[in-house]
Amino acid sequence: MQIAIDGPASAGKSTIAKLVAKKLGYIYCDTGAMYRTVTYMALKDQLPLDDETTILQHLSQLQIRFAPGDPEQRVFMNDEDVTLAIREPDVTNNVSQVAALPGVRTELVERQRDIAAKHDIVMDGRDIGTTVLPHAALKIFMVASVSERANRRYKENVQKGIKTPLATLEAEIAERDRKDSQRKVSPLRQAADAIRIDTTRMTIEEVVAKILALVAEKKQAD
Ligand code: CDP
Ligand code: CDP
């Protein structure tokens, strides 16, 4: 069983995907973390972010691995735990540029399909339903208003002690949405057979319950 969850930044994809995977006993694959890891590598190695050839050479030497962790799944770049580093603003503000490189997408999509071939899985990202897993049993396209998404990021930041103004967060999210939706290769868009869920006024529990009900419906229909 493959469940694909796509949508713009901070719509709630990863929070919900993790909980759904846990409930069903499936693994969770955070494809955004993979694009973030490549971006982190490029920044760390001081590679020009438009030099696809060099980035691909470095990527070929790079293992990106998810490991169980408590409470969060950990992300490893070779032997380095990059779980926190890939969430830093520098990575967040540059990831859309790296994710637009066609060769990077080809390589990561291949790795994502390899992971999905081996397990029942919940995978979240931008192009899972359209490109990575076009035959997924259930496809969700999760959205929320920009102001609600900026609010959510703001609250997360407050907990981490980061004080970026709400207006800045809103502008950053809108800009990332624009870049992700307008890129040539696998832009962010809803698959024709995806179910749209607007989480603006929904709690996390409500969204999880809705998806579990859709999974149960699918299983019954098969
Ligand atoms: O969690 P957040 O919404 O901030 O983003 P993410 O899922 O960690 O993804 C970070 C970035 O990676 C996105 O803004 C996209 O540029 C890129 N991405 C992508 O292009 N394709 C995917 N399947 C997943 C992420
Ligand atoms: O993965 P994505 O960027 O789509 O979003 P996320 O990181 O899962 O969610 C962003 C924030 O919104 C988290 O702090 C969630 O707890 C929160 N959230 C919420 O308040 N209500 C929802 N229905 C979904 C997520």
pLDDT at 222: 79
Distance, CA 53 to ligand 2 centroid (Å)?
35
Q: Is the pLDDT of residue 66 over 90?
A: yes
Helix (H) or strand (E) holding 139: strand 138-143
Which-ligand-closest: CA of 33? 1
pLDDT at 72: 83
Percentage of the chain modeled with pLDDT above 90: 88
**Of residues 58, 57, 54, 77, the one with CA closest to residue 67:** 77
- Domain CATH code at residue 78: 3.40.50.300
pLDDT tens per residue across span 144-172:
999 999 999 999 989 988 888 999 999 99
Protein residue with its CA nearest to atom 10 in ligand 2 = 10
Q: Is the pLDDT of residue 7 over 90?
A: yes
The residue segments making up the domain with residue 120 are 1-215
Percentage of the chain modeled with pLDDT above 70: 100
- pLDDT range class, residue 14, cuts 50, 70, 90: very high
Binding residues for ATP: 7-15
> Does the residue 209 lie in any domain?
yes
Protein residue with its CA nearest to atom 16 in ligand 2 = 15
Residues 30, 15 contacting (CB under 8 angstroms): no
> Does the residue 19 lie in any domain?
yes
Which-ligand-closest: CA of 13? 2
Position 10, amino acid = S
Beta carbons within 8 Å of 92's beta carbon, 6+ residues apart: 36, 172, 176
- pLDDT range class, residue 71, cuts 50, 70, 90: confident
- pTM, two decimals, is 0.96
Q: Which two tokens stand for residue 124?
A: 């979240």
Is the alpha carbon torsion for 55, 114, 86, 75 positive or negative?
negative
- pLDDT range class, residue 70, cuts 50, 70, 90: confident
> Does the residue 117 lie in any domain?
yes
Lowest mean pLDDT among 34-43, 61-70, 205-214: 61-70
Q: Considering its fold, how many domains does the chain have in total?
A: 1
> Does the residue 222 lie in any domain?
no
Distance, CA 55 to ligand 1 centroid (Å)?
18
pLDDT tens per residue across span 122-136:
999 999 999 999 999
Q: Is the pLDDT of residue 221 over 90?
A: no
> Does the residue 9 lie in any domain?
yes
Pairing relation of β-strands 64-67 and 74-77? Answer: antiparallel
pLDDT tens per residue across span 194-214:
999 999 999 999 999 999 999
